[in-house]
Chains A and B, each alone.
Chain A
Amino acid sequence: MISLTINEKDIRMPEGATVLEAAQALEIEVPTLCHDPQLKPYGGCRLCIVEIKDFPRPVTACTTPATDGMEVTTESDRLYRLRRTIVELLLSDHPNDCMVCARAGDCTLQELAYFYKLRENRFIGERRHYDMTDKNPFIKREMEKCILCGKCVRVCDEIQGVNAIDIAYRGFNAKVCPPYEKDLDCEFCGQCIVVCPTGALSGVIWGGQGRQMDVKLTDTVCPYCGCGCNITLHSVRDKVIRVTSPKDSINQGWLCVKGRFGYEFINQKDRLQTPLIRRRKGGKLEPATWDEALNLVMSRFEKIKKEHGPDALAGLASARCTNEENYAFQKFFRAVIGTNNVDHCARY
């Protein structure tokens, strides 16, 4: 363990911890844009600069390893001025169209602008203009709003292992894009959207559906597979408009394309809501109650078993069920039906 002081408060941290982690352990707020505890430190946005005794210049808290006896200051007039300049520079190359931006109210940059009271901008100048729209069906990329924090690039590399995007070009023209600036063609997990601190990345199907006001949050479990990722449904007037996942869940907030974007079936008009039974041979499928349907299945199972023996039946379980459900399913086939003809779609 090492001990250091931050704003004259003592803290003991394990070896290898960063100054930022130490500050957070003391619940000292240090602004960041490019930092994410689940990603490697980057030190790009420069907002988390702090002053450390005997260091010649301010350093970023997120990248600097804490050492024994360090004396850190996170707030001073100078740091306030430097951080304000950084946010001002970012805003000088930003569309500033918060009124129509999907992320308004949920945007770190907007929050910082508010905190530093940035209404005027001393550095108004050239802005980046990108005409091309990415035509992929899932992820809306508005690169003029990108602040080059590099989180999307890192999450794609470090968490998802896909490396679908990277930074291309230099300096002011630096830009996050897929190879050769083609349309994004990845697995569309949308992890990049989760980490984006501005409105640069959002879901295509989220557009115009509602921002943060009047959104009802419902915690549930993703129905798509047995992983059981925790998800939160965002709904407005009984309509699901977005799916997110909490960071402190078993899936640490990461989802796949189905879990994140495959929710529209919920609101489909032709979605089945009751079982259907064909009551006459050659007749139409008609709505039925669950009791009626289950009774029918039970009677058919019994008949087949009686006439042809239990091995005439076979069960194929689904990967969308949980482990417990699949366990009950095979038990049912082996113990109740009496056959070993049971299998699972994930085997194929």
Chain B
Amino acid sequence: MSKEILIHVCMDTGGIAAGSLDVVDAFNAEFAKTDIPARIEKRCSLHKVGCRGFCARDVLVDITIKGEKTTYQYIKPDMVPRLVEEHIIGDTPVEEWMVDETYDDFYKLQKKVVLANNGKIDPENIDEYLDVGGYASITKALKEMTATEVIETVKASGLRGRGGAGFPTGLKWELCVKNKENPKYIICNADEGDPGAFMDRSVIEGNPHSLIEGMSIGAYAISSNVGYVYIRAEYPLAVERLAKALDQAREHGFLGKGIHGSDFDFEIKVKLGAGAFVCGEETALIASIEGERGMPRAKPPYPADKGLWGKPTIINNVETWANLPPIIKNGAEWYAAIGSENSKGTKVFALTGKIRNTGLIEVPMGIPLRDIIFDIGGGIEGGGLLKAVQTGGPSGGCIPQEHIDMRVDYDNLAKVGSMMGSGGMVVLDESDCMVNITRFFLEFTQAESCGKCTPCRIGTKRLLEILTRITEGEGKKGDIELLLDLANDVKDTSLCGLGMSAPNPVLSTIRYFRHEYEAHINHKRCPAKVCRKLLTFFVREDLCTGCGMCVRACPAGAVSGKKKKPHRIDTSACIKCGACYDVCKFKAVLKE
């Protein structure tokens, strides 16, 4: 990076969706113009970088001239010529497009360990990873540490699995090493399937080499020579960048026979998932790699004893593996100093929902939830009131607004009836119906159940049916108790983590939002005005201009009225589809 002018364009899935490919093309087109290259060509380089987290403001572009970095937000291709003309050639930043001070608020309380180099380096170029000290940790482990020392370091760091359950990583490795059977296998679980979660995806898209390095460290620690990355096929960009990174690592001698000039061999194979959520469960994932139907099996024995092909196997998820290079590099004490008592280090969250600053964040464990929502997240989008924060995806629960000051770590989340999960964080405001949100998650889990065990296969289906009937106004007295009974029984008897955690949304919403269930069942009313079958649509005559949009939108012919006179909705004909409500420009259609 010796060029004086550096341009970084955010090129993860979010950035690309926002149009960053066109932005890069626009820069290249601009540089291709006859008079420009002579002035800047030799000094300027354009870099595609991974996710830096602030997806809400994509496309983000950094222009650095002689070490002076300027960040632009919401960049569109037609803005590029002016950036080149005024900033790159003219050396005068375009102030109106620069990020404001709220941009820094997003980062102020974050602590980047896993994502430290995301957004700074080109994920498709191994040299940029090497420039920021990449592959130094595995070299250090191979040259200066024994395998036992590596495991001791990981144990002392307090790192816990980032895939959901939070099992201490070093302990898992130690158990695996105690098993004398060989060969041993290393697996990276990149089958991130929670709705709204994109942490692992961003790590692979933004810094795939950190994953390869982390897995190499793990392989050395447990003496494994073969690793697998099980990655979902729905992540084409991550798959492509991982494949490129693996090729580059092989070319540099970082994978294959005698890696980094040592006598240790390590190779990584990639296995694509076929779209089953349950394959994120470790035993189902192993079955899938073996070519079987992706169905979990009972534990014990755990994979550390009998895993892939019946051999001792270590499975960790992407984020866990990516934590290892910094731990080895900076030492266990450095890592253990970050975080809370029983949850060390940082955690990456995908912050979505009714929040101003949607994006990918990395925070130290133990940070107050309030800081995440109101400082980093910038508060509720549209100025509504916070109702709850849903964590842990479909396996997690909802943290109500009264727990806003809790410190976010494994134990505290479990205490309030939720879980860390893989790190999805969905912010809900008063316009979200908790019964309906629960119904959504159960719809997901019951469809993704593999069907092997009875409670998950039929139990989640029945939970969904009861929830559906409540949201459709057909709830019966006793439904809440029935939900609680069934949810607890499914939790207690299911075979794998999917079934065990699928009832969590039911249990946690009834715990904190029982009154919403009661309103649906007893009063046939949806307090958040979401469950359409419980709503009545009508027109406010003083606001209605008689434009007739609603008449045209209504599929049931329930709206009538003379032109330019207030219209009426015939409630007996209304099918409560909400088309009139959505189409009215004057907010004259009300729902109650």
B493 near A49 (CB under 8 angstroms)? yes
Distance between A116 CB and nearest chain B CB, rounded to angstroms? 13
Given contacts A46-B494, A126-B465, contact A89 B451 (CB under 8 A): no
For the complex, is B298 an interface residue (Cβ under 8 Å from A)?
yes
Kindly identify which residue among A46, A64, A148, A171 contacts B460, using a CB–CB cutoff of 8 Å: A171
Chain B residues within 8 Å of A318, by CB: none
Given contacts A64-B298, A82-B489, A89-B462, contact A45 B454 (CB under 8 A): yes
* Residue in A closest to B468 when the chains form the complex, CB atoms: A125
A64 near B300 (CB under 8 angstroms)? yes
* Residue in B closest to A57 when the chains form the complex, CB atoms: B492
Max chain A CB contacts within 10 Å: which of B452, B482, B486, B494?
B452
Q: Which of A162-170, A223-231, A283-291 contacts B (4 or more CB under 8 A)?
A: A162-170
Interface residues of A in 117-163 (CB under 8 A from B): 122-123, 125-126, 147-148, 150
B300 near A46 (CB under 8 angstroms)? no
C-alpha gap A46/B338 in the complex (Å): 42
Chain B residues within 8 Å of A93, by CB: 458, 461
B297 near A171 (CB under 8 angstroms)? no
Kindly identify which residue among B453, B460, B461, B462 contacts A44, using a CB–CB cutoff of 8 Å: B453
Distance between A196 CB and nearest chain B CB, rounded to angstroms? 16
For the complex, is B390 an interface residue (Cβ under 8 Å from A)?
no
C-alpha gap A28/B459 in the complex (Å): 28
For the complex, is A180 an interface residue (Cβ under 8 Å from B)?
no
C-alpha gap A171/B447 in the complex (Å): 6
* Residue in A closest to B295 when the chains form the complex, CB atoms: A167
Kindly identify which residue among B297, B449, B486 contacts A172, using a CB–CB cutoff of 8 Å: B449
Interface residues of B in 485-524 (CB under 8 A from A): 485-486, 489, 492-495, 500
C-alpha gap A63/B300 in the complex (Å): 8
Interface residues on chain B, number (Cβ under 8 Å): 35
A171 near B449 (CB under 8 angstroms)? yes
Chain B residues within 8 Å of A41, by CB: 298
Kindly identify which residue among A46, A90, A167 contacts B451, using a CB–CB cutoff of 8 Å: A167
Chain B residues within 8 Å of A304, by CB: none
For the complex, is A326 an interface residue (Cβ under 8 Å from B)?
no
For the complex, is A92 an interface residue (Cβ under 8 Å from B)?
yes
Chain B residues within 8 Å of A122, by CB: 482, 486
Given contacts A166-B293, A169-B451, A171-B446, contact A46 B495 (CB under 8 A): yes
Kindly identify which residue among A57, A125, A150 contacts B462, using a CB–CB cutoff of 8 Å: A125
A148 near B486 (CB under 8 angstroms)? no
A44 near B492 (CB under 8 angstroms)? no
B495 near A44 (CB under 8 angstroms)? yes
A86 near B455 (CB under 8 angstroms)? yes
Binary A-proximity of B18-41 (CB < 8 A = 1, otherwise 0) = 000000000000000000000000
Binary A-proximity of B291-305 (CB < 8 A = 1, otherwise 0) = 001010110110000
* Residue in B closest to A125 when the chains form the complex, CB atoms: B465
B446 near A63 (CB under 8 angstroms)? no
Kindly identify which residue among B485, B492, B495 contacts A43, using a CB–CB cutoff of 8 Å: B495
Kindly identify which residue among B297, B301, B457, B460 contacts A174, using a CB–CB cutoff of 8 Å: B457
Kindly identify which residue among B297, B447, B458 contacts A63, using a CB–CB cutoff of 8 Å: B297
16 contacts between A and B (CB under 8 A): A44-B452, A44-B453, A44-B495, A46-B454, A49-B493, A58-B493, A85-B459, A85-B486, A90-B454, A92-B458, A122-B482, A123-B458, A170-B276, A172-B446, A172-B451, A172-B457
Interface residues of A (CB under 8 A from B): 41, 43-46, 49, 57-60, 63-65, 81-82, 85-86, 89-90, 92-93, 122-123, 125-126, 147-148, 150, 166-167, 169-174
Interface residues of B (CB under 8 A from A): 276, 278, 293, 295, 297-298, 300-301, 446-462, 465, 482, 485-486, 489, 492-495, 500
